[in-house]
Amino acid sequence: QVQLVESGGGLVQAGGSLRLSCAASGIIYRINVMGWYRQAPGKQRELVGVITRGGTTNYADSVKGRFTISRDNAENTLYLQMNSLKPEDTAVYYCNVVAGPYTYWGHGTQVTVSS
Residue 43: pLDDT band (50, 70, 90) is very high
Q: In this structure, which amino acid lies at residue 67?
A: F
Give 61's DSSP letter: T
Rounded distance between C-alpha atoms, residue 45 and residue 74, angstroms:
28
Do the beta carbons of residue 8 and residue 19 sit within 8 Å? yes
Q: What are the tens digits of pLDDT across the range 59-104? A: 999 999 999 999 999 999 999 999 999 999 999 999 999 999 999 9
Residue 84 is predicted with a pLDDT of 98
Rounded distance between C-alpha atoms, residue 5 and residue 45, angstroms:
19
Residue 17 is predicted with a pLDDT of 98
Residue 52: pLDDT band (50, 70, 90) is very high
Residue 54: pLDDT band (50, 70, 90) is very high
Positive or negative: CA dihedral 55, 74, 85, 4: positive
Report the residue count for the chain. 115
